[in-house]
A = this chain, B = another copy of it.
Amino acid sequence: MGTALNALKMLEYFSSSQPEIGLSHIARLAGLNKATALRHLRALEEFGLIEQNPQTKSYAIGPAALRLAALREIAKPGLDGARQKMQAAMHEVGESLHLTLLEKDTLQTALVVETTQHSVRVSLDPSEIIPVNATASGLCMLSFGPAFLLERLESDTLTRFTDATMTDPKIIRDRVAQIGQAGWANSNGSFEDGVFGYAAPIFGIDQIAIGTIAIAVPEIRATSARQPLILTSLHTLSKELTANFGGQTPETFPTEFHP
């Protein structure tokens, strides 16, 4: 059931490490008969989503992908799609959310969705640069983002914001390793007193984080009873936003978040 879908699923086997695949190979990968694999490829090729190298006879993603991506950007300019998903989650959890993206080499707030359900809520300055050592987003980015962030940890001056702020690179690295296992990060008042943060990565095409999605909870509401709700919301957001920005979640990433 779903011929079209089966055809499309063949596209999943192309990756940055394997941008060109031969007929027999992709048939084996997809568990399809060569004949059907070929017919699917031909259909995709006619549409332009697949292209055959006339020399090697092997197949690669075609130019139609570019056209569709351009259309996508017109229909949903990235952040708009993210905002909608964040707003939906905000209604579920009843807390403020913020989306941070890695711009060049700093982590910046791209979008803030504030809850309307509580008068006591966490507000965040959208122009602030996010310190990697003091926020859940920052720690998350150290775990799942590009390696240079971790590497320059020692050479950076790590500001102490509160008593809970970590400034020792060794301790931070330990924490980062834990987060890499769990899939999510938290910060309990290490940036601002009374603010608990929960963050999860948003992955790019190469399965390296391009940003994070975070839920900020005032300490009074940060009870262990509310954690499961927050963590499941965080997990679905991580996956949805990764998809929204055209990224790919690594297979090793946890399928759910545990406290």
Contact = CB atoms under 8 A, between A and B. Distances in A.
Which DSSP category, helix, strand, loop or mixed, fits chain A's interface? helix
Size bin of chain A's contact surface = 35 or more
A20 to B, nearest CB: 7
A19 B247 contact: no
B68 A65 contact: yes
Contact of A71 (B4, B16, B70, B75): B16
Contacts of A8: 4, 43-44, 47, 49
A58 B127 CA distance: 35
Contacts of A5: 43, 46-47
A81 B48 CA distance: 13
Contacts of A9: 47
B61 A75 contact: yes
Contact of A61 (B4, B11, B68): B68
Nearest to A8: B47
This chain's copy number in the assembly: 2
Given A5-B46, A49-B8, A68-B49, A16 B74 contact: yes
Contacts of A149: none
A27 interface: no
Contacts of A46: 2, 5
A57 interface: no
Interface string A29-56: 0000000000010011011110100000
A65 B246 contact: yes
A124 to B, nearest CB: 26
7 smallest beta-carbon distances between A and B, as pairs: A66-B246, A69-B69, A19-B75, A65-B68, A4-B7, A70-B205, A5-B43
11 contacts: A8-B43, A14-B75, A16-B74, A19-B75, A48-B243, A51-B76, A61-B76, A62-B72, A67-B246, A67-B248, A69-B246
